[in-house]
Structure 1
Amino acid sequence: MAETAAIHDMNKPMLGTLLHQGVLRIVMQRPERMNSLSSEMMAALSAELTQAAENPEVRVILLGAEGKVFCAGHDLKELTAARAEADRGRATYTRIMRQCSDLMQQIVRHPKPVIAVVTGVATAAGCQLVASCDLALATDTATFCTPGVNIGLFCSTPMVALSRNVAPKHAMEMLLTGESIDASTAKEFGLINRIIPRDYLDQVVQKYAETIASKSSQTLKVGKEAFYRQLEMPLSDAYDHAANVMVENMLARDAEEGINAFLQKRKPEWTDG
């Protein structure tokens, strides 16, 4: 995948990608369907993430969308159509919910940092998508909600990602009321990291991502994996795990290079090892 080259795979018309300075931009391109997480969209995103994991040129991933809606969650027309099946859609719903859960976990377990770039509405599983990313940047016009309760369908799977990002009472407020929150409230809740003026979004986001991309990719991989693993552990187990990670990290070539570069007051030369 060549630097600065725009890529549009005709086999994946739902996505557009651009790789520049180690930063891969993935853009959902179905604004007419509100970039909903249809089975096809989820398959396309998963395939792109798999390719990015295997591509050493990709160091950071930006996930954005065209149009006024970042992602409207599951494709309700697709789900409703399945009711005509003999089992009233049970098998289809099981498959789609599993596919969605696998995609969210793929993001969390991805070896590269994944950053959501939200310029519009992120609702239901779309909000889940934002919460599943490692970081999230948004414009001041972005909004977020988990409105399933309004249509008799509690946002149970979005709840998993949401409750791991924001305080329990904030999560329950979003889940029980189904009301939208603005970018400022989302930042206060801890759902997003920064709010960026729309006019400066592209350059600020690129610089932000390039700052992360300039680090050792091996160090980022080790750190990201350790971060999510220790979150689920009791305190003493978390410290034991983190200590073991630190020992192995200290023995890595990039740690040796980084420490030497710091002591010698020079820029490190990463080998990603």
Structure 2
Amino acid sequence: VCIGLVGGPPRALQSCCVDPGLAICLWVCWLFSCPSSRPLDSAKVVRSLLKNMLPFSCPIIKTSHEALRLCLGLLSRKRHITRTSLTKQLHSTALLWSADIVSVHDAGGVRTVTLNNPKKRNVLSLAMLRELDVHFKEADAEHSVRCVVLCSSGPVFSSGHDLKELKIDSGGTAKIQEIFSLCTRVMTSIRRLSVPVIAQVNGLAAAAGCQLVATCDIVIATERSSFSLPGAAFGLFCSTPGIAVARCVPQKASAYMLMTGNAINAQEALISGLVSKVVPEEKLQEETDRVTSAIVAKSRSVLALGKKFYYRQIQMGIEDAYTEGEQVMLHNLQYCDSQEGINAFVEKRKPHWEHTDQKFSPCAH
């Protein structure tokens, strides 16, 4: 606040702030010393704010930047904004994003996204969903990412939505609608992601947490893991979680989970098709590494094409699926990576992928 009052330089924040959320709010104080009703150029505000936050280096500054982009993106739809409206929106966003409830780590083409709120059983709160939405979008856009591993800290993978946020008297139906809409966007973005998403489960996955698991492309779970759709017990049937579960679990099994709320163990989940592999807890990371290594060794562009058609053809009749599948195969063969893979197999060598959908040209090779 003192920095804001005296109009000190934004870089001075580096020596007194550790938390980006607080730093953002202080920077707002410094930036807007003008009357609250005076209109400001939105584009200049965005550029100045992001530029002056770059000197900060802490584990979650990237997340805070994305919070700013989301917040200011909404406000910048109008040519001019006021200090009051910007400060109000920015402050609420910064508070939601300042806690490191989702951590991200990159290594060897694998992006690991960790649900990191064990004290609250990794609930899919509005703040958590916002972060996941951003991280999945980033993974899709970054060419170096070959696959995503979604895991959690603590004994619970995720207990689903934060029921406190679903009380109508706490925020009204508009806020609840935002939570459900954002959750849907996160789930659909996993399916639309260009790279495979692997759920690494070591504990309970309940309600929307079970939905998150069911939505992932591959699921590796420990023997102690369990899965449930207990919403009816709380007066809120797991209607949206059931959408994902019913698409990978047979009808009788999914109906059992939805209508009784009883949890199924890892082996039952494996038999019903909810998970891909069950391993002892001490072997979880080893098995995950084995799967990610196999994925990273493939062409990103080929897997992206294959994943997209795989989920598309499931919804088709078999004849239509074969008809479109033929065209997808022909299209795939035109990729440089496709011809490189075939040539490498014939020549008994490892392929050298370009990881693009660039078409093959015989003259260029």
> By the TM > 0.5 criterion, same fold?
yes
Q: CA deviation at 1:240?
A: 1.6
Match of 2:169 among 75, 79, 83: 83
> Given the alignment of the two structures, is residue 262 of structure 1 paired with residue 345 of structure 2, yes or no?
yes
Which residue is 1:119 aligned to? 202
Are the aligned partners of 1:24 and 1:61 in contact in 2 as well (CA < 8 Å)?
yes
Are the aligned partners of 1:111 and 1:221 in contact in 2 as well (CA < 8 Å)?
yes
The 2-side partners of 1:189 and 1:211 are apart by 25
Are the aligned partners of 2:165 and 2:176 in contact in 1 as well (CA < 8 Å)?
no
- Partner of 2:248, secondary structure, is coil
The 1-side partners of 2:298 and 2:59 are apart by 28
- Partner of 1:195, secondary structure, is strand
Letter in 1 for 2:123: S
The 2-side partners of 1:84 and 1:142 are apart by 33
Task: Give the CA RMSD over aligned residues.
Answer: 1.2
Q: 1:84 to 1:211 in 2, by over 3 A?
A: closer
Letter in 2 for 1:245: V
Are the aligned partners of 2:101 and 2:116 in contact in 1 as well (CA < 8 Å)?
yes
The superposition leaves residues 4-50 of structure 1 with CA deviations (integer Å, 9 ceiling, x where unpaired) of xxx93243511112111111111010001111111110000111111
The 2-side partners of 1:9 and 1:50 are apart by 17
Which residue is 2:155 aligned to? 68
Which residue is 1:168 aligned to? 251
Are the aligned partners of 1:8 and 1:17 in contact in 2 as well (CA < 8 Å)?
no
Unaligned runs of 5+ in 2: 1-57, 65-96, 357-365
Are the aligned partners of 1:22 and 1:210 in contact in 2 as well (CA < 8 Å)?
no
- Partner of 1:64, secondary structure, is strand
Are the aligned partners of 2:221 and 2:279 in contact in 1 as well (CA < 8 Å)?
yes
Q: CA deviation at 1:238?
A: 1.2
The 2-side partners of 1:22 and 1:197 are apart by 25
**TM-score for the superposition, normalised by structure 1:** 0.93
Q: Percent identity?
A: 38
The superposition leaves residues 178-216 of structure 1 with CA deviations (integer Å, 9 ceiling, x where unpaired) of 001100000011000001211122222112111111100
The superposition leaves residues 91-113 of structure 1 with CA deviations (integer Å, 9 ceiling, x where unpaired) of 22222111111110000111110
Letter in 2 for 1:264: E
Alignment of 1:1-273 (within 5 A): 8-10=59-61, 11=64, 13-80=100-167, 82-85=168-171, 89-273=172-356
Q: Which structure shows the higher helix fraction?
A: 2
Q: CA deviation at 1:83?
A: 2.1
**TM-score for the superposition, normalised by structure 2:** 0.70
Which structure 1 residue ranges, 4+ long, deviate > 3 Å from structure 2?
Answer: none
* Higher gyration radius (CA): 2
